[in-house]
Amino acid sequence: MGPPEPGINLSVWLMALYDLTLMHGGQAPPLGFTAS
């Protein structure tokens, strides 16, 4: 088995982090938050 598709993996990670942030009652971080 090769490495997971980068694009799909990134999307899943972003959605998971987004859901976790909302679950904890915090505001969703801005798009450029992790790109800084």
Instruction: Using the structure block, give the residue that is written with the tokens 């938050």.
Output: 33
| Residue indicated by tokens 């505001």 | 27
pLDDT digits (tens, 9 = 90+) for 12-35: 888 888 787 777 666 655 555 554
3-state SS string for the chain: CCCCCHHHHHHHHHHHHHHHHHHCCCCCCCCCCCCC
Instruction: Report if pTM > 0.85.
Output: no
Q: Which is more confidently placed, 2 or 34?
A: 2
Please provide residue 34's backbone torsions phi and psi, each rounded to the nearest 5 degrees. Answer: -85, -10
